[in-house]
A and B are shown apart, each in its own frame.
Chain A
């Protein structure tokens, strides 16, 4: 298969304008453009729909309120009252990933959440933030997070390294989950799109129908992954408050 037809070609980054700062290449690329669209969609939607601040909401305002309540409920369910101060962050994270995924579903639009560097950066912010939070809340005692009470003492040499590794792998699992889902979904769509063109006669409608169904599934996954990202962030924040 020629390189220009590769299903991975959609993930290639094309600079729109070349910018260089302090020797680093910080070109504004199609990925940056997708981020810009995402941020614009979120900010404009959440601002314009709530502009009237009416007590009886319009349909659009209701969507904004539903999103607000969805994340607020998620935070209060997992973290409790402590979680309120992290609400803007978790909400931003959820909306950024959700709308980023959705923008990626638009044909010919770039999906920045399919890039491991982006998802890893987001996960790293969560991981570092939660770790700092844990040390602020518990000081040196935060290390007891790796000590599981109620386990026979001879198990600890085994369990403590496992706990440490599982803790350290959090940002990796968090980022790879989102990245791999997006990568796989979009690759699959692209592969089947190739079938539509290459299959003889009218048989191309079968992969086309499959693409339609798959698009529905991808939209579901787009939401689901954003939700998973948000709920795991909430759980990690909860861990920073409540050790075992």
Chain B
């Protein structure tokens, strides 16, 4: 078996030592640090991206919260405004209603006064009319010319009966 031939043992050991030492030193000093750098760089990149993603998520959550707060605030404000407007409108309506009532009352009382006044006027006219009619009727029937004084005297005496 050639493996047990010691002729080349020293040669084998020598070149093994040379090549393996070279390989070890080269990998230790050159190749492995390179790969380690790449892996570390990648890990850093991943960590960086993860942390920035987390940060962005937090920011998004903060913004969402802000938006919700603002929406709530806006809702409250709107409710307040609606309430205020309703109240103002109600006040306005009631004040207008009351002023209308007053107006109407005034108008009604004025109308009543006018009616009374016109009634009085009418009553005065009625007396004159009655006197005229009486005078005309008497003259047609009896050809007697009654003076105004006489007629008024009669009317005054009967006033209670047709009033």
Contact = CB atoms under 8 A, between A and B. Distances in A.
A29 B32 contact: no
B12 A115 contact: yes
Interface in B18-62: 19-20, 22-24, 26-28, 30-32, 34-39, 41-42, 45
B20 A53 contact: no
A71 to B, nearest CB: 10
B9 interface: yes
B3 A115 contact: yes
Contacts of B38: 50, 53-55, 57, 61, 65
State the main secondary structure of chain B at its contact with A: helix
A116 B3 contact: yes
B23 to A, nearest CB: 5
Nearest to A31: B12
B133 to A, nearest CB: 126
Contact of A46 (B8, B9, B13, B31): B31
Max chain A C-beta neighbours (<10 A), residue from B3, B30, B31: B31
B3 A183 contact: yes
B24 A46 contact: no
Nearest to A10: B2
Given A39-B19, A55-B42, A121-B13, A11 B8 contact: no
Contact of A43 (B4, B26, B45): B26
Max chain B C-beta neighbours (<10 A), residue from A26, A65, A179: A26
A27 B23 contact: no
Interface in A106-122: 112, 114-118, 121-122
Interface in A47-69: 47, 50, 53-55, 57, 61, 64-65, 68-69
Interface residues of B, number: 36
A145 interface: no
A8 B32 CA distance: 37
Contacts of A53: 34, 37-38, 41
A11 B2 contact: yes
Given A53-B34, A89-B24, A68 B13 contact: no
A177 B53 CA distance: 52
Contacts of A233: none
A244 to B, nearest CB: 31
Interface residues of A, number: 50
B23 A39 contact: yes
A96 B27 CA distance: 11
B7 interface: yes
B31 A50 contact: yes
A117 B13 contact: yes
A198 interface: no
B10 interface: yes
A96 B32 CA distance: 14
B15 interface: yes
Given A35-B16, A115-B3, A179-B3, A92 B9 contact: no
B161 interface: no
Given A26-B14, A121-B12, 7 more contacts: A8-B2, A43-B30, A46-B32, A46-B34, A68-B36, A116-B4, A179-B3
8 contacts: A9-B2, A13-B11, A26-B14, A26-B15, A35-B19, A36-B19, A117-B3, A121-B17
Interface of A: 8-9, 11-13, 15, 21, 24-29, 31-32, 35-36, 38-39, 42-43, 46-47, 50, 53-55, 57, 61, 64-65, 68-69, 87-89, 91-92, 95-96, 112, 114-118, 121-122, 179, 183
